[in-house]
Structures are given as structure tokens and as C-alpha cells.
Amino acid sequence: MPSITSPRRRSPSTSLHQQASLASERTRREKRLYEASLGGCVESLAQLLQEDRLILARASVTCFDETPLHVACMLGHVPFAKALLAHKRDLAMELDSQGRTPLHLASTNGYVEIARELLQLEPRACLVHDEDGRTPLHLATMKGRINIVKELVKASPEVVRYGDLVNAQDDEGNTILHLAAANKQIETVKYLLQRSEVDVNTKNRNGFSALDIVEYFPKDFKVIELRELLVNARALRAIRFLASTTHQAIVDNTNEENSTVVVDLASVAPPSTNTPPVKAFPPESFSARRDSLMVVASLLATVAFQAATTPPGGVWQDDYKPHMAGTSIMAHIQRMAYGQFMIFNPLAFLSSLSIILLLLSGLPIEWRRWMWTQMAITYFIALRNISLADMWGMLKDVTDVSVVCWLCLMGVVFMGNVVRLCVWVLRKWGLLEEEREEEFR
């Protein structure tokens, strides 16, 4: 009777060794995949796909923080990103360790072509919020990537509702308009305000509108331009919503228990039929006048300062009696004319600095005001050094009068800011009736 031979069984140690070897090989391939992602090497990607067709599927469940597509979008490897999407389209919706899609990274770094490719395949990616509640549009706005912003707002209307996209809020309640204003992205603000769907009066969790954020900045040309853009777009201060808006309700998070209170505006501020129509503010008038006045004042200050350091006729170059090197020739030859020059030139200089101070006055005090004060001191020191010793008495009188006038002007500016601060505090605590934000006329 023939004997029957049973099949040879694999030993457990052999099976474990093969599994370990297979796992090690997969790990090496994954590392090669990420190295190819860092270098943007499409040839290496093609070779890896030939060796293992499931390598991209496994890349989504590895211990790495990002997928290869995240790396490619971060570094701007356009051909590599397109090759990845061609083999595995759903990589466009994968999240990294911070909850960001590849579109988040492409938008942050300003890679327009990659962002366009991702939006064509997955328009829904523009609505994904990361762990901070920010969409790709939030990140592009913060970085001032205006081209990316335009691509994102043009996402497929069948998938994305424009109003939901541009008015989406992050975890702090900030919309893209808040972020653009906070980062002084003037071009982005201009672009957004051209869209009727953008709500210019949305408040964040701190109760601030975009205009409130701009108002808290120290005054400079960017801030003034941003404020003008928002006011022309009918933006309002959030603390003045109660007396001016027609929305049904607002959210107030400033009560002692830090709870949410919904206030019905219909009962607080009923609409008035006697309100006069608001005159439209011409966009160019204030900006043009301010810029022209600033240029003229700066030019006059420069000319006056130059005239003080290099007076008419120049200065003596030698030390032969009766004159000294460095003193004004005009002071020796035409004393009366030089005395008049010492009166009117400081007057022109002080007037110019006063205009500049008034144009940019406001709290908090900026370093430029300190610079202008030092400039005035330097001016009078230079004027003293080129004048004759027997004319220092007249120069002292001119300096004293100028300093008194300057201090009076500083006092007026300071008191004006104190009044503004008091009014703001009274309105903040509800002790003063709110007004409509219609300024800059």
C-alpha cells in the first residue's frame, strides 16, 4: 500500500520572518516615495508605482504627518502633484496632522497652478476647515496671495456657494475680510469689497468688525486707505450696530457670565422715517486732499530746514577776524535782513511740522512724532551755530515763541485725543448714545 506524504507546513518563525521582510520593504518604498516628493521626481514616482501599485493608497495610512501630495504642494512641485492626482484623485481631500488639505498648503505658499488643478478635481476642498477653523481662502488672505484668492472664489458654483465661502469664519470668528484688514492687505480688501456677497459688518468672537480692527491700528497711509475703503463700502463699527443696523439680531459676548445673548434690534432701535439721506462720500476727495497737503507740508519743512543749515549767501570758510568759520555771511553783511530771515524761516518750518502732526495725530503716539520733535531741536541748534553771538538773543526769543506755539499745538492734539477716548469709553459702557459710522466727509 503506497504511503501518503503530508504537505510540508511553514514554521511560525519562517512566516514571521517573511512578514517582517515585507514590512521592511514597504517602509523603504514609502521613504523613497517621500524622498521623491521632496525632490519632485516624477520618474521615481513612476518606478515606485510599477513596483507597488498600492503604494499611494498605503501613503494615506502611514505614520507620516503629510501625504506625498501635501509635500509636493508645500514645495511647489507642479508636475509631481499632477502625477499624484492622476493616479489617486482622492489625495486632494486627505488631511495632514493639522487638518489641512493639500489646497491649504498650495494656497498658503501661493502656487496658483497647483491650486487650480486641485480645485478642478475637488472644488469641495476650498470649504474644508483646518484645526484652527481656517479654510484655504483664510490662509491665502493672511499671506496676501491675491491670485490664489481669485482662484478660490471662482470655485465651481455647483459645489460651492459664494456667500458661504467668502463669509466663512475661523475658530476666532474672523472672516477673510477681518484677516485682510488685520494684515493690511489693501489689494485683497479692494477685491473683496467688489463682491456684493461679502458681509462687511460681520463680527468676530471679540465683537469686532473689520472696520473696528482698522480703527485700532496706529494711523499710517495704509490704515487710512483701508478705513476709507471700508467706510465707502458702508462698513460700520461693531459698537454702533445697535443704533444703525437693520439686521434682526446680534450676538453679545461681553456679559459677566460669558454667555451668548441674542438682542432683538427691532425693539432696541426702531427704524426712523425722519433720518436724512446720507450723502455719498467721493472716494478720491479726502485721499487726494490729504496726500497733497502732506506733500506740500513735507516740502516746506525740507526747504526751511535746508535754509537754516545753509543760509542765503553761505557761511564763512575761514577764521579771519572779524568773522568765524561756519557763521553766516548774511549775518555779517545784512544784519536786518538776516534777522527777518530768522523770524520767518522758523515760522515756515514750525507751520509745516504742525500740519504734518495734525494730519497724522491720534492715539497711540507714534515714533514719527518723536522724530519730528528731534528734527525741530536739530533745526534750532543748527540755526544757533551759524548765527553770530550778538544775535543769539533774537534767536532765543524766536526759539521761545516757537516752542510755546509747538507745545500749545501738542496740547490741543492731546486734549482732542483725550476727548475722543472719553467718548469711546462712554459708548463702550453704554452711557452715551451710539451713532452711525459716517465720517471722513
Cell of 18: 517573511
Contact 212, 226 (CB under 8 A): no
What mean pLDDT do residues 74-102 have? 92
Residue 432: count of CB within 10 angstroms of its CB: 13
Q: What is the structure's pLDDT at 360?
A: 67
Provide the residue type at 383 as one letter.
Answer: L
Give CA torsion, residues 80, 82, 88, 91, to 10 deg. Answer: 80
3-state secondary structure of 354: helix
Q: What is the percent of the chain with per-residue pLDDT over 70, rounded to a whole number?
A: 62
Q: Around 297, how many Cα atoms within 13 Å sit in the side-chain half-sphere? A: 18
Helix (H) or strand (E) holding 252: strand 249-252
- Burial (Cβ within 10 Å: 0-12, 13-18, ≥19) of residue 53: exposed
Q: Among 81-90, 177-186, 269-278, 377-386, whose mean pLDDT is lowest?
A: 269-278
What mean pLDDT do residues 91-105 have? 92
Q: Which of 1.25.40.20, 1.20.120.80, 1.20.120.640, 1.10.10.1100 would CATH assign to domain 28-160?
A: 1.25.40.20
Provide the residue type at 367 as one letter.
Answer: W
Question: How far is it, in rounded angstroms, from Cα 207 to Cα 213?
Answer: 10
Q: Among 368-372, 387-391, 394-398, whose mean pLDDT is lowest?
A: 368-372
φ and ψ of 83, to 5 deg: -65, -40
Question: How far is it, in rounded angstroms, from Cα 5 to Cα 153?
Answer: 73
* Greatest CA separation for the chain: 145
DSSP state of 251: E
User: Over the stretch 249-260, which tens digit does the pLDDT of each residue have?
Assistant: 333 333 333 333
Question: How far is it, in rounded angstroms, from Cα 141 to Cα 146?
Answer: 7
Contact 211, 231 (CB under 8 A): yes
Question: How far is it, in rounded angstroms, from Cα 323 to Cα 310?
Answer: 17
Model confidence at 436, pLDDT cuts 50, 70, 90, reads: very low
Q: What is the structure's pLDDT at 417?
A: 79
Domain residue limits, the chain: 28-160, 176-272, 283-428
Q: Among 40-44, 58-62, 71-75, 207-211, whose mean pLDDT is lowest?
A: 58-62
Q: Among 36-45, 183-192, 229-238, 240-249, whose mean pLDDT is lowest?
A: 240-249
Model confidence at 109, pLDDT cuts 50, 70, 90, reads: very high
Confidence check: pLDDT of 50 > 50: yes
Residue 78 contacts by C-beta under 8 Å, 6 or more apart in sequence?
111, 113, 114, 117
What mean pLDDT do residues 13-29 have? 69
Q: What is the percent of the chain with per-residue pLDDT over 90, rounded to a whole number?
A: 20
Cell of 371: 522724530
Model confidence at 148, pLDDT cuts 50, 70, 90, reads: very high
Terminal alpha carbon distance of the chain: 115
- Measured over the CA atoms of residue 307, residue 313, residue 316 and residue 317, the dihedral's sign is positive
Instruction: Could you please state the CATH topology (level 3) that the domain comprising 176-272 is classified under.
Output: 1.25.40
Question: How far is it, in rounded angstroms, from Cα 309 to Cα 345?
Answer: 11
Most confident of the following: 20-34, 210-224, 358-372: 210-224
Question: How far is it, in rounded angstroms, from Cα 378 to Cα 376?
Answer: 5
Q: Is 202 left (phi over 0), alpha (psi -120 to 50) or beta?
A: beta
What mean pLDDT do residues 136-161 have? 83
Q: Around 361, how many Cα atoms within 13 Å sit in the side-chain half-sphere? A: 18
Confidence check: pLDDT of 437 > 80: no
Confidence check: pLDDT of 378 > 90: no
Q: Mean of the per-residue pLDDT values for the chain?
A: 74
Residue 88: count of CB within 10 angstroms of its CB: 19
Closest CA to 32 of 76, 64, 79: 64
Provide the residue type at 359 as one letter.
Answer: L
Question: How far is it, in rounded angstroms, from Cα 162 to Cα 195?
Answer: 10
- Measured over the CA atoms of residue 216, residue 217, residue 218 and residue 221, the dihedral's sign is negative
Ordered DSSP codes for 159-206: T--HHHHHT---TT---HHHHHHHTT-HHHHHHHHT-TT--TT---TT
Q: What is the structure's pLDDT at 72?
A: 93
User: Over the stretch 270-303, which tens digit does the pLDDT of each residue have?
Assistant: 333 333 333 434 444 556 666 777 777 777 777 7
Q: What is the structure's pLDDT at 407?
A: 80
- Burial (Cβ within 10 Å: 0-12, 13-18, ≥19) of residue 362: middle
Residue with the larger pLDDT of the pair 416 and 263: 416
List, in sequence order, every residue forming a beta bridge with 251; answer none if it has no partner.
Answer: 262
Confidence check: pLDDT of 51 > 80: yes
Confidence check: pLDDT of 374 > 50: yes
Q: What is the structure's pLDDT at 269?
A: 34
3-state secondary structure of 244: helix
Q: Among 25-29, 35-39, 133-137, whose mean pLDDT is lowest?
A: 25-29
User: Over the stretch 168-201, which tens digit does the pLDDT of each residue have?
Assistant: 899 999 999 999 999 989 999 999 888 878 888 9
Q: What is the structure's pLDDT at 386?
A: 64
Question: How far is it, in rounded angstroms, from Cα 136 to Cα 108?
Answer: 7
